[in-house]
Amino acid sequence: MLRAVTSRFYAATSAALRANIQRTCAVQAVRYSSHVKESDEEFDARYEAAFNDPNTDGWLIRKLMNDLHGYDLVPEPKIIIAAMKACRRVNDYAMAVRYLEAIKLKCDKNLDKIWPWMLQEIGPTLKELGIDTPEELGYDKPELAKVNVFDIH
């Protein structure tokens, strides 16, 4: 299985790389990096499609959310709506609330500006699916106190 996976992986990526290299060699006046930059709409559409795909299971949803969390951006409301629906599809309530908390973290210093707008945009979907925001659950303030594992000696 590993050999099949890696051989297909290398086949796929090397084909893509070869295509890219041929493209860059053809145009000599302009310099392209080997990775063609995708636009914001393509980025949004890709993630929305991935979340909306009925074949994505909990494993891939978590991976998508972790990856999206790694980018330096607050995801568009339509991506978040797709993510919430994906959580509903795999019947995982905790994942939805956790992701909303993660979005709040992404807003960081601009939380007062972005979060009310975000709630306004995704509010109808949250109500329709029955997902509570972290504030409604009381999770915007600390509830349980635990000793930090790094402080246990």
Partner 1 sequence: MNEMANHLVKHMVRVAPRMSVRCASSSTPARPIKSDPVAIPEELPQELKDSIYPKIGKREIVGFGWNGLPTYVDRCEFPFPSIRFKETTPEILALREKEKGDWKKLSVEEKKALYRSSFCQTFAEFDDAPTGEWKSIIGLALMGIVVTGWCLIAVHQMAYDRLPVTITEEWKEKMVEHMVRQGQNPLQGVSSIWDYENNRWKK
Spatial separation of the C-alpha atoms in residues 43 and 6, rounded to whole Å: 26
Among 23, 42, 67, 124, binds partner 1 (CB under 8 A): 67
The b/e string for 106-141 (b: 16+ C-beta within 10 A; e otherwise) is beeeeeeebbeebeeebeebbeeeebebeeeeebee
Structural contact between residues 92 and 129, judged by C-beta atoms closer than 8 angstroms: no
Among 20, 77, 85, 101, binds partner 1 (CB under 8 A): 101
Q: Is 141 in the site for partner 1 (CB under 8 A)?
A: yes
Structural contact between residues 88 and 118, judged by C-beta atoms closer than 8 angstroms: no
Stretch of residues binding partner 1 (CB under 8 A), selected from 18-26, 74-82, 95-103, 109-117: 95-103
Nearest 5°: CA angle at 145, between 139 and 149?
115
Nearest-approach distance from CB 86 to partner 1, in angstroms: 13
Stretch of residues binding partner 1 (CB under 8 A), selected from 20-28, 74-82, 110-118, 124-132: 124-132
> Which parts of this chain interact with partner 1 (CB under 8 A)?
1-2, 4-6, 8-9, 12-13, 16, 35, 46, 50, 55, 57-60, 62-67, 69-70, 88, 90-95, 97-99, 101-102, 104-105, 129-132, 134, 137-146, 148
